[in-house]
Amino acid sequence: MSQEQFNFDKEATIAKLDEVIGYIKKDKFDSETIKKITDDTLEGFDDYVSPGWLKYRKSVSTDAAVLEWHDEGSIDYGLNDEEFIDFLGGFGIYTFGHRNQEILETVEAQLKHQALHSQELLDPLRSYLAKAVSEITPGDLQYSFFTNGGAEAVEMSLKLARIATGGRWYISTVGAFHGKSMGAISVGGKGSYREPYLPMIQQVQHVEYGNAEDMRKAIANLQEVGEKVAGII
């Protein structure tokens, strides 16, 4: 990238970010500000996030764009106070609802004395959580590896499966989605996600979802030729 291509108006960028921080500190906006934020958001997604969101997702199309701004319980509220019942649950992160009061109070209390640990010194809360997880999980599971999200958890699971079994092969299903990191896409079953990155992690076979007999055959065939399956996902 040349210096000319990299040039930008630093002061303008900082001023815009200051403006956005001001938005964060507000709950309500006038109609002019709502239109401005909406226009900025549509432009931002189209030019800097992913134009596919506006093209393929009916819930956020340019004809009926809704910007979520606050939430409570099972309801998402838009900038114009539109109400939507959340049936997606943030891919499972809202098990206890949005802004659950007990959770909010605990998070706020934590933020008042420490936002994130240093990664160098010992974090007592990680220790307490790991012990609690070991107590409530079945079998002899003892150690926890904490991750930031589902794809990272899948990556660690793939590695642990190989360590635990000595196997190298994975069996997945057609149509499956496990995340967008390299290992997760490799065991995913959607061509549109996989094709741009081929060749991917090898030693993955895909069978029809819900077809237990095909799954058994895939395992048996690998074993018959001397291969060992690390795991099924």
Q: Which long-range contacts (CB under 8 A, 24 or more apart) does 99-108 make?
A: 99/71, 99/72, 99/73
Residues 7-57: tens digit of each pLDDT: 778 899 999 999 999 999 998 899 999 999 999 998 998 899 988 878 777
pLDDT beyond 90 at 160: yes
Q: Starting from the edge strand earliest in sequence, which strands make up the sheet with 204-207, in order?
A: 204-207, 169-173, 229-232
Take residue 150 and report the two structure tokens written for it: 């589902």
**CA 91 to the chain's CA centroid:** 8
Query: Rounded distance, CA 59 to CA 61, Å?
Result: 6
pLDDT beyond 80 at 65: no
At residue 131's C-alpha, the angle toward residues 126 and 133, to 5°, is 95
Query: Rounded distance, CA 173 to CA 76, Å?
Result: 33
Q: Which residue has the higher pLDDT, 58 or 154?
A: 154
pTM score of the predicted model: 0.78
- pLDDT at position 52 is 81
Residues 83-129: tens digit of each pLDDT: 999 998 888 889 999 999 999 999 999 999 999 889 899 999 999 99
Take residue 182 and report the two structure tokens written for it: 């390299």
Closest by CA position to 94, among listed 109, 110, 76: 76
Take residue 190 and report the two structure tokens written for it: 């959607």
- pLDDT at position 55 is 79
Q: Which of 91-95, 131-135, 179-183, 209-213 has the lowest mean pLDDT?
A: 91-95
